[in-house]
Amino acid sequence: MEAEHFSPYRADGKLYGFVCVVTGAQQPVGQAIIQELAAHGAACIYACDQATSTSYDALISSISQTSPNTKIIPYPLTVASEAETLTLIDEILNSFGRLDAWVCSSGLLGPPSLDATTPGDLQKCFEANSMAPFFALKYAPPAMGKLMLRKGDYPNAEIKGVKYGSIVVVSSVASTYGGCWGVGYTMSCHAALGVVRAGVAVLKGTGVRINCISPGQIDVGVDLHNFDMRGMTAQFPPASLQSKENQQKDIGLERAGLPIEVGRVAGFLASGFSSYITGANLVVDGGASVMNPLTVPI
């Protein structure tokens, strides 16, 4: 009897054999996602950002202790560049022969006020928040359709005998609601969710799923003392913009979220535990948008 080949939908939800891409890898949420994918047993994770490779030393050292069989590859990437996206996919296929999960975790807040928002600011928000997911939708699925019928010679390698893949777009509650931050951020986050919803029909028959995570207030450790808000390049409105009293009043769980709490949802969507979920928008905001859907959260 022929041995059953490796199935991506493992009962234990592990990602053995998976080759993954995570953008925004220098941000706290991006790093938390990388840690979670490694904990699930991913064979290789491309940590993509514009930072230098030495910026990943602490992350690589940490993961080498907890998940020694996961290879972390720092990769400089401009997420809104079509050419660089295609080059990255070519390099992955040349090196590993497969691609399994793509997590768009890069993002840009842009100016908080309408008066301060220029057309250039708006363009930058769309490039970071919605163009990057568009490129993932357009170019990652053909690579995810590549089969690998022989185990690689790297740790956690597995056969890939069926077409499958998972695209995860980390956006914000601004994908659904206004008033979370500036106009550019809200518009571009709505567009990111639009990529996910349009992607369901586009991906029919490919074996690739696409989903969105919409976090609310996430404590990313941003100190706003003497900080120029107009130059803010983080992805989420910092939790420190809300007092503890307001968090207790406006958020069901009475606190800001942690990066790892977003990372765990990304790991779930990348794994077989979510095998019948596509086109979803998983809101990770501690219940704030349910309690106060019409209030400005900051």
> What angle in degrees, to the nearest 10, is found between the helix axes of 82-96 and 132-144?
30
The neighbouring-strand residues paired with 49 are: 76
**Contact between 157 and 17 (Cβ < 8 Å):** yes
**Contact between 239 and 247 (Cβ < 8 Å):** yes
Of 86-90, 110-114, 176-180, 227-231, which gets the smallest average pLDDT? Answer: 227-231
**Looking at this protein, which amino acid is placed at residue 295?**
T
136 SS3 class: helix
Q: Is the model's pLDDT at 133 over the cut of 80?
A: yes
Decide which of 211 and 153 is more confident.
Answer: 211
> What angle in degrees, to the nearest 10, is found between the helix axes of 28-39 and 57-66?
20
- Would you state the pLDDT for residue 177? 86
What are the tens digits of pLDDT across the range 64-86?
Answer: 999 999 999 999 999 999 999 99
Q: Is the model's pLDDT at 283 over the cut of 90?
A: yes
Total-model pTM = 0.89
> What angle in degrees, to the nearest 10, is found between the helix axes of 28-39 and 259-270?
50
Alpha-carbon distance of 98 to 262, in angstroms, equals 26
Alpha-carbon distance of 296 to 75, in angstroms, equals 37
Decide which of 210 and 1 is more confident.
Answer: 210
Alpha-carbon distance of 88 to 81, in angstroms, equals 11
Domains of the chain, CATH where assigned: 19-284 (3.40.50.720)
**DSSP structure class, residue 128:** I
Decide which of 244 and 263 is more confident.
Answer: 263
- Would you state the pLDDT for residue 237? 58
Q: 287 burial class (0-12, 13-18, 19+ CB within 10 angstroms)?
A: middle
What are the tens digits of pLDDT across the range 96-109?
Answer: 999 999 999 988 88
Q: Is the model's pLDDT at 233 over the cut of 90?
A: no
